[in-house]
Amino acid sequence: MAVLFIVFISSEAIRHYLKASFMVTVFGYGAPTSDASAIELFKSGWGNIDDRNMEEFEIIDIRNENELRTLWSEFIHSHHYRVESDFYNSWISNHPRRTGEAYINQYLMAKFIENNPLPRNISLSELREWYLNIHQYE
């Protein structure tokens, strides 16, 4: 019974955050048909793509872009998506602070911005310090 309660809470949280999201980044998950319950949860949170005509969907995966575009077609409106095979080329990696705000400024407000990429090849403790440094400006 406790496990079902935790899953229920997690499902509701996922649904809530997807409904409120402007951008979604999916890491290496190809939406297989065998995981129908997870996809249904995602659909119920994200909603109809025609109602998501400005939102951005980013996929980080090593597979071919055409294959991924087909797999995720129910979540992508038109051309509002990105596919990256390297996490460090992703929008979320290049704009780790206020990711959505950076996207809106760049593409909707035409305020061209500079990347503020995550550092590469550092330890977890160094990465934590890096994040704490940028978090202080919130």
Q: What distance in Å separates the CA atoms of residue 138 and residue 72, rounded to the nearest whole number? A: 33
pLDDT of residue 28: 82
pLDDT of residue 3: 43
Give the number of domains in the chain: 2
| Shared-domain flag, residues 17 and 28 | yes
pLDDT of residue 37: 83
In which element (H, E) is residue 12 found? helix 2-20
pLDDT of residue 105: 86
pLDDT of residue 4: 42
| Shared-domain flag, residues 77 and 96 | no
Q: What distance in Å separates the CA atoms of residue 107 and residue 102, rounded to the nearest whole number? A: 9
C-alpha closest to that of 52 among 30, 29, 72, 32? 72
| Shared-domain flag, residues 66 and 79 | yes
Instruction: Report the SS3 class of residue 135.
Output: helix
Full residue range of the structural domain in which residue 31 is found: 1-85
Tell me how far apart the 2 most distant CA atoms of the chain are, in Å: 51
Q: Which residues of the chain have pLDDT under 50?
A: 1-6
| Shared-domain flag, residues 16 and 61 | yes
Residue 119 is encoded by which pair of tokens? 């550092």
